[in-house]
């Protein structure tokens, strides 16, 4: 399996580890350039396929979004975006790429609809989806006290609020 940037190593765990490192570097770049880590609010418009961030200086950031999946802290589960009842198919492309990666490498945690998962593994899922989809970043948004949404996003557009 290949992506836009690299050939996947024979050992999928190496690919996953490299993906996590790439995600960390991308996150650091977003935090340094437009202050992703200081976002006061976030929202997703599923009809437009956009994630929006409100930053403390009155700036707004927006980007195309994909939903990798959701976690539920009540039962410690991750529900993949590729078979999530709340995720439109057009917002699950990166999740589908991760599913195909899992199927190709015999990784049931990528190809089973719902899996036991902690935050560390959810970040791995997001990192792999980001890399496979050629996204520019990842984001975990708190949707409720017990639910988080794991997303990838594309090129960021900044505007004055």
Q: What pLDDT score was predicted for residue 91?
A: 99
Looking at residue 8, its pLDDT comes to 59
Instruction: Look at the chain and count its residues.
Output: 161
pLDDT at residue 1, rounded to an integer: 40
pLDDT at 57: 87
Distance from chain centroid for Cα 54: 19
Q: What is the pLDDT of residues 92-151, one digit of tens each?
A: 999 999 999 999 999 999 999 999 999 999 999 999 999 999 999 999 999 999 999 999
pLDDT score of 161 more than 80: no
Which pLDDT does position 10 carry in this prediction? 77
To the nearest whole percent, how much of the chain has pLDDT over 90? 93
Q: What is the pLDDT of residue 21?
A: 99
pLDDT of residue 3: 45
Q: For the packed helices 119-133 and 12-34, what is the interaxial angle rounded to 10 degrees?
A: 90
Nearest-angstrom CA–CA distance, 70 and 117 = 10
């Amino acid at each position: 399996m290949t992506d836009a940037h690299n050939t996947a190593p024979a050992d999928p765990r190496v690919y996953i580890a490299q993906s996590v490192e790439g995600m960390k570097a991308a996150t650091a770049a977003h935090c340094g350039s437009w202050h992703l880590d200081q976002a006061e609010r976030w929202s997703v418009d599923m009809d437009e396929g956009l994630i929006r961030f409100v930053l403390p200086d009155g700036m707004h950031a927006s980007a195309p979004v994909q939903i990798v999946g959701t976690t539920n802290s009540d039962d410690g589960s991750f529900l993949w975006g590729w078979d999530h009842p709340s995720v439109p198919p057009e917002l699950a492309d990166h999740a589908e790429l991760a599913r195909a990666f899992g199927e190709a490498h015999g990784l049931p945690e990528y190809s089973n609809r719902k899996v036991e998962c902690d935050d560390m593994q959810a970040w791995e899922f997001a990192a792999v989806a980001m890399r496979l989809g050629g996204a520019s970043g990842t984001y975990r948004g708190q949707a409720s006290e017990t639910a988080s949404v794991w997303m990838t996003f594309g090129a960021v557009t900044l505007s004055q609020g």
